[in-house]
Amino acid sequence: MSEQQTAQQLISQLNNQELSSRELVQQCLDRITSVDDSVKAFLEVNSESALQQADAIDQKRSAGESVGPLTGIPIAIKDNICVEGWKTSCSSKMLENFTSVYDAHVIENLKSAGAVLIGRVNLDEFAMGSSCENSAFQKTANPWNTDCAPGGSSGGSAAAVAAGMVPLSIGSDTGGSIRQPAAFCGVVGMKPTYGRVSRYGLVAFASSLDQIGPFAKNVSDAALLLESLWGHDRRDSTSVDIPAPSLVNQIDQPLAGLKVGIVSEHYSDGLDDEVHQAIQSAKETYQAQGAEIHEVELPHAKCGVAAYYIIAPSEASSNLSRYDGIHYGHRASSEEKMSLEDLYERSRGEGFGPEVKRRIMLGAYALSSGYYDAYYLKALKVRRLIAEDYQKAFEKVDVILSPTSPSPAFKLGELVDDPLQMYLNDIYTIGANLAGIPGISIPAGLSSQGLPIGIQLLAPVYEEEKLLRAARMYEKEHEHSLAVPSL
């Protein structure tokens, strides 16, 4: 597998029997062996299982049996998504020894589509972070510059695709955790509308914000993977039961009369000049294709980070309360007799890392008696205002164009001791999660330091087809998605 080959090109070779699934899987395994020592994207590579899956697929093809849309394609799975028989640790000591007894809904769908599940990839512990440095087991590096962060929390998913170890991967996005690492690593990452993809089998961080989505080398591959991920699931009460459009067949159809929105509030102090230039270039690209550029207002966007970092930690503190050393998860060991309270305290103290503890404490405080109305309830009201801002903006435009991140990738360790600056990396992505709308990050070239720059497009709820077609319009005019790091 060439590092530039897309999933669709590989599928064509597989269907034409120019390549066997075993050969493709072995090429991915060889690539992982070659480069992952420096990237550290994978927590576990299931080589034997992947080759067995590939052999079964090759037999089906040889027998002339019908195959799914992803048959034979290796995919990496973020380690907070349950796969039966695999460890699902969420990169936390709390779940270090947990083995899943069932498949997440998206895993069921991937298996039905014929995908080869090759291994689980690193993340910030319990998906809480923007740099993939909060993992309890290893720090993932950016394939473009291994001194830099790959973004987070889905840093392992983005790095695995960027480094050519797999053609596709999946991650989860709570406040930008797919789009920001996609921008840092120079790949495509998409967060669908909340409820489009089932959260059944996704270990919960913030239940009203979490959403699973695809990573790919280009927009067409992201559309292909998303078609296999989404669909109604009765086991998830937030899963929407509406028809899913065909994405791949429409992806190359330009949008006539496209109206692109620009938000002036996005271009203030703190935005890197080269990222700003990438947005200006994208505006010109769309105008050259006949699109209209309109200024729109998101007056409450400035409150997004504050609202998010009350709502998300509040939901996290509730979701993570189950990990107490009694029900399941890490249990502290001691030769001495401990009270139940001591057991809780020691188990949680040993099992959770510093960032997770920080967010649990923030959330517990916001939900506590006397502060609920002042913090959590107020944040929910701000969330509603932010959603209304997007609704009003989309009455004037089809999509909104913005930066994905304020800057290209920062150095590993640079922001570890500055949580506020780390949190501000999500300033452009948080709004989509609070409003529940779909968003995508696409490559927009390299900085003067040779690091990828990403631009973000947002669309109204359930308008994934429009979003992907708009993203493809930009991508077709550039070759940014063909760039690969020289590891």
Give the C-alpha distances (Å, rounded to integers) separating 22 from 1, 15, 315, 361.
Answer: 12, 13, 43, 48
Give the C-alpha distances (Å, rounded to integers) separating 96 from 79, 87, 99, 284.
Answer: 11, 8, 9, 49
Exposure string of 263-291, with b = 16+ CB inside 10 Å and e = fewer, is: beebeeeebeebbeebbeebbebbeeeeb
Catalytic residue among 131, 135, 153, 198: 153
Query: For 451, phi and psi rounded to 5 degrees?
Result: -105, 145
Cβ(73)–Cβ(37) below 8 Å? no
Is-catalytic flag, 153? yes
Catalytic residue among 21, 177, 220, 239: 177
Tokens 């709570």 correspond to: 174
Q: What pairs with residue 259 in β-bridges?
A: 292
Q: For the chain, how far is it from start to end, CA to CA, in angstroms?
A: 16
Q: What pairs with residue 74 in β-bridges?
A: 116
Closest by Cα among 191, 153, 173, 188 to 422: 153
**How many other C-beta atoms can be found within 10 angstroms of the C-beta atom of residue 472?**
22
State how far the Cα of 433 lies from the Cα of 454, in Å rounded to an integer: 18
Is-catalytic flag, 38? no
Cβ(227)–Cβ(248) below 8 Å? yes
Query: For 31, phi and psi rounded to 5 degrees?
Result: -65, -40
Q: Please list the active-site residues.
A: 78, 153, 177
